[in-house]
Amino acid sequence: MIPALRPARALRCVVLLASAAALVACSADEITVVDDDPRLIVHAFDSHDFLRPDHSIGGSLRYNADTGCMFLMDRGAKLLIWPEGTTPVLTDGERGVEVPDYGIAMQRDDIRLSYYSVPEDYYVDFDGWEAAESCVPGSGDVVFVSQLLD
């Protein structure tokens, strides 16, 4: 026998379910192109099980003059998709990025970062991906930066 819910408790359950549905309906994964020199590709993620920054990688921060995009050079070029709030830096002809909770990294700096493992078949459906595609290097490698590490 299933116990009957009192009206007040039943109403609370409906409100909680409606709130959860509203949260899901309002959320979206998106990629945005910020500025044009350097062009930064920035991600805004919702919570997903696979989005745990449990990987790290290091290399040299580079700038591609043909595409205007920043990338990581480590055994091949990797497009960096930066965390929300990252802004481009242009100082005396040198390009770089200002990353929240880190500071500034300039082209040719050696950097280490933690990143999210995002399956390609997932991120190609993000809103705004079309604008980012021209920055993907010949290797096709894309890295979603969680944060820069000291």
Phi, psi of 122 (to 5 degrees): -90, -50
Quote the pTM value.
Answer: 0.75
CA 138/CA 147 separation, integer angstroms: 24
Per-residue pLDDT of the chain (150 residues; tens, 9 = 90+): 444 444 333 323 233 222 232 223 333 578 888 888 899 999 887 555 555 666 899 999 999 999 999 999 998 899 999 999 999 999 999 999 999 999 999 999 999 998 887 888 888 888 888 888 889 888 788 998 988 997
* Closest to 143 in 3D by CA, of 67, 74, 47, 63: 74
Residue 93, SS3 per DSSP = coil
- What pLDDT is attached to residue 12? 30
